[in-house]
A and B are shown apart, each in its own frame.
Chain A
Amino acid sequence: MWAVIKKELKSYFTTPIGYVFIGVFLIAFSVSFYFTVIGYGNINFEYIYLSLPTILVLAFIIPLLTMRSIAEERKTGTEQLLLTSPLSITKMILGKFISATIIVIITEICTLMYFAIICHYGIPHITTALATMLGFLLFCMSYISFGILASSITENQIIAGIISIGFFIITWVLPDFNENLSGFSFINMFYKYTQGQIDIADTVTFITFTITCILLTITFMQRRKSVK
């Protein structure tokens, strides 16, 4: 599994994808930093995380991170190399999931410099900031696992990307149409973390969703062996 993680991380940074993800996110982060901290004089780190520019940008860059993970392997045929090696499908998928998660963690670490700047203006609430970062990580992990699932059902990365973007937007705007659906919104769940509360139910939901997607991906891959 470590081999897959290492290889995936390397390929994120030999292709522009890794840089684009971190770069674009930090640009959006800077924009909301400018408005909340410089503009309104707010020293709440969590406000920057839960702002329109960052969430909007996420809808596009998380699929960017995951869309090629399996679709490309399938298209170029390198999938055959992996599936005929002693490496199990579970480890292969987990490797891909973990490497994408590591990119998110690297991005979060980069955002700490904004935290440092905020500290210059006042004393931000550290626990809330940490809860927000944890929530953000779980939030991203859910979408990453869904993105990998989307990537496993097609050999066209663009389709995989569009499915993931579509899913992100639907889960984002759905509560606006019907209040009963607000429980399904990942953003609403993430919102609670930014309030400094780590809700057990929400945490469990995020983790369950992630695990379900990974299990589904593994099942799909395994099933393809006998159907293909």
Chain B
Amino acid sequence: MIEVKNVTKKYGKVVAVDNISFTIQDGEIIGLLGPNGAGKSTTMNMITGYIEPTEGTIIIDNYDISKRPKKAKKEIGYMPEGVPLYTDMTVKEFITYMAEIKKIDKKERKEKVEKIIEETGLKEVEKKITKNLSRGYKQRVSLAGALVGEPKILILDEPTVGLDPKQITEIRKLIKDLGKKHTIILSSHILSEVSQICQKVIIINKGKIVAIDTPENLENKVSNKNSLYVTVEDTENKIEKVTKKIKEITKIELIKENEDKTKEYLIESKLDTDLRKILFQEFAKENITIFEMKKADTTLEDAFMKLIEGGN
């Protein structure tokens, strides 16, 4: 369990993180979300004990990271931003070195390093110098380094940055699998990624927590209306008249006219009404053919933008 209590971090006069508090339970996958410079990395660096908070306490599994760093750090595997590696070591040497500084028993070390190499799919490159690896492999090596010592908590700072789409899906899958055994905090500014992997999202902006919730709840929270995209064939232009009759509709807007003479409208109503059935019946009466009808989902993207702008 990670408890962050009233943590503030100042760089001189600049406040990077401003009095944040949150608790992360065992086994959760948490996404730390925010625009660049919001304080994501600073927060992660404080949790890992790389930097000290100016005020407040961080407790990792009952150990205060500032007072009992050795015990607390043993529980954490950290993959820093920009994947720093020792460039003159081979993959195996690097992971072994990480195992050594994490004080893994000599008898088990070899076996555990082998296991991690297998798990992260590094077997074929284990004898290569890390300098010569592709970005995707470097990311894996860094992740492997974090995994050494079976830490309960994994902290991954932008784990998919700079990867190609195939590598991104691979790493995401790997993280999801790891989530079964570890508590994971990952930072990202890719929202779709966070909503796919994480059970809970912490949105940070300008050093402050804007929201903590599940991705679904966040999406629901910011939407205050029901929107539908409807594509219709309406040769006699009756739609305006019809929609005026339906009281539930709050707004109708022509989005575009297609080449096949169909028109796409955005129709909005209040949150508690579902227009789909009404539209279907009313349009049928007036000979308006519905070609397509779909709900316009508010995405995490919208939620994010709204919350951030709200904060401003």
A residues contacting B by CB (< 8 A) are 2-4, 6-7, 11, 14-15, 76-88, 225-226, 228
Contact = CB atoms under 8 A, between A and B. Distances in A.
B52 A78 contact: no
A80 B73 contact: no
B21 to A, nearest CB: 20
Nearest to B46: A225
A85 B98 CA distance: 8
B50 A80 contact: yes
B29 to A, nearest CB: 20
24 contacts: A2-B100, A3-B100, A4-B101, A7-B97, A14-B88, A76-B84, A76-B87, A78-B86, A80-B48, A80-B84, A81-B78, A81-B98, A81-B101, A81-B145, A83-B49, A84-B49, A84-B80, A85-B73, A86-B71, A86-B74, A86-B102, A87-B103, A88-B70, A226-B52
Q: Which 9 A-B pairs have the closest CB atoms?
A: A77-B84, A3-B100, A226-B52, A84-B48, A80-B80, A85-B101, A78-B84, A84-B78, A87-B101
Contact of B97 (A3, A76, A226): A3
B102 A225 contact: no
Interface in B85-139: 85-88, 97-98, 100-103
A228 B51 CA distance: 7
Q: Give the interface SS of chain A, mostly helix, strand, loop or mixed.
A: helix
B143 to A, nearest CB: 12
Interface residues of B, number: 29
Interface of B: 11, 45, 48-52, 54, 69-71, 73-74, 76, 78, 80, 82, 84-88, 97-98, 100-103, 145
A78 B85 contact: yes
A81 to B, nearest CB: 6
A14 B54 CA distance: 40
A80 B41 CA distance: 12
Contacts of A6: 100
Contact of A226 (B51, B73, B101): B51
Q: Among A15, A82, A86, which residue has the most Cβ atoms of chain B within 10 A?
A: A86
Given A85-B98, A86-B71, 12 more contacts: A7-B100, A14-B88, A76-B84, A76-B85, A76-B86, A80-B48, A81-B101, A84-B80, A86-B74, A86-B103, A87-B102, A225-B51
Contacts of A14: 88
Given A15-B88, A85-B102, A226-B54, A77 B80 contact: yes
